[in-house]
Amino acid sequence: MISVTEDNFDVNAVIGRVRRPDMGALVTFLGTVRDDGGTEVMELEAYEEVAKKELATIRDEAFAKYPIAAVEVVHRIGRLRVGENILLIVVGAGHRKEAFDACEYILERIKESVPIWKKEIGKGGERWVPGESHGGDA
Amino acid sequence: MQVRVRTFARLREAIGGDLMLEVPEGATMSRLLAAVGETSEQAGEALFEENGDLRAYVILMHNGRRVRRAEAGTRPLADGDEVALFPPVAGG
């Protein structure tokens, strides 16, 4: 399942939804709000309809590239405090290597193309976290 | 015809939010960008260099799909279309 939501998630509950007896590996990536020298709050904003479609495309790419059995992605938006959950990716596969590789692939593709933005807010002011990629059309 | 303009992150702040703009029938993406730039001084500065070129960080979407900057001058819009303007994405 793919979701973009303001609600927090329970990591174990998501893993529980994914796991099946034919999976020998469940690789989980959990991204959280980092205290980057005084950050107190992070505001996340999405072009929601497009973000959901793009996440689904990335999931489909991962299935096409790696022999994996399940993918679950939850990306939070809204106002989050330092230490709170932002992103959960769970990949289930028969074996560890494809699960790790697919999880990393999904994460890097999210950073590259899903329309979500973050603003760090702290005592020193606020700043938009710079994007890492221009999607190949600078 | 009317085109909906969605704006995000730093461009949303500069432009002031989403817009519904009236543009001539058959207007291109470039024509619409110029109209967005004319809504305020801040919007114009956020979108365009002093020489009038679209700033390098501006990413364009037309009805949910990326549009290459080189295509903006020839890409025609239709009534009810949605155009999105945003800086490089930073999720994850």
Q: What is the predicted pLDDT for the residue at A138? A: 44
What is the rounded CA–CA span in Å between residue A85 and residue A81?
9
A45 to B9: CB separation less than 8 angstroms, yes or no: yes
Q: What is the predicted pLDDT for the residue at A67? A: 98
Q: In which order are the strands placed within the sheet that holds A125-128? A: A78-81, A39-46, A116-122, A125-128
B92 to A31: CB separation less than 8 angstroms, yes or no: yes
User: Domain A2-123: what homologous superfamily?
Assistant: Molybdopterin biosynthesis MoaE subunit (3.90.1170.40)
Asked if B17 is an interface residue toward chain A (Cβ–Cβ < 8 A), one would say no
Give pLDDT tens digits along chain A (138 positions). 999 999 999 999 999 999 999 999 999 999 999 998 889 999 999 999 999 999 999 999 999 999 999 999 999 999 999 999 999 999 999 999 999 999 999 999 999 999 999 999 999 899 999 997 665 454
Question: Which of A76, A86, A117 to substitute to test the interface with B, most B CBs within 10 Å?
Answer: A117
Contact list in B for residue A76 (CB cut-off 8 A) is none
Instruction: Provide the 3-class DSSP secondary structure of residue B36.
Output: helix
- Closest listed residue to residue B57, CA positions, set B87, B85, B30, B28: B87
Q: What is the predicted pLDDT for the residue at A137? A: 59
Decide if A47 contacts A115 (C-beta within 8 A): yes
Q: What is the predicted pLDDT for the residue at A134? A: 64
B90 to A53: CB separation less than 8 angstroms, yes or no: no
CB atoms within 10 A of CB A64: 7
Q: What is the predicted pLDDT for the residue at B53? A: 95
Asked if A29 is an interface residue toward chain B (Cβ–Cβ < 8 A), one would say no
Q: What is the predicted pLDDT for the residue at A124? A: 87
Contact list in A for residue B89 (CB cut-off 8 A) is 111-117, 131, 133, 135
Q: ipTM of the assembly?
A: 0.94
Closest Cβ–Cβ partner in B64, B87, B92 for A50: B64
How close, in Å, is residue B67 to chain A by CA atoms? 9
Sequence ranges of the domains in chain A:
2-123
What is the rounded CA–CA span in Å between residue A120 and residue A122?
7
Q: What is the predicted pLDDT for the residue at A37? A: 85
What SS3 string covers chain A? Answer: CEEEECCCCCHHHHHHHHCCCCCCEEEEEEEECCCCCCEEEEEEEECHHHHHHHHHHHHHHHHHHCCEEEEEEEEECEEEECCCEEEEEEEEECCHHHHHHHHHHHHHHHHHHCCEEEEEEECCEEEECCCCCCCCCC
CATH numbers and ranges of domains, chain B: 2-86 (3.10.20.30)
Contact list in A for residue B68 (CB cut-off 8 A) is 137
Decide if A101 contacts A66 (C-beta within 8 A): yes
User: Which residue of A lies nearest to B69 if distances are taken between CA atoms?
Assistant: A137
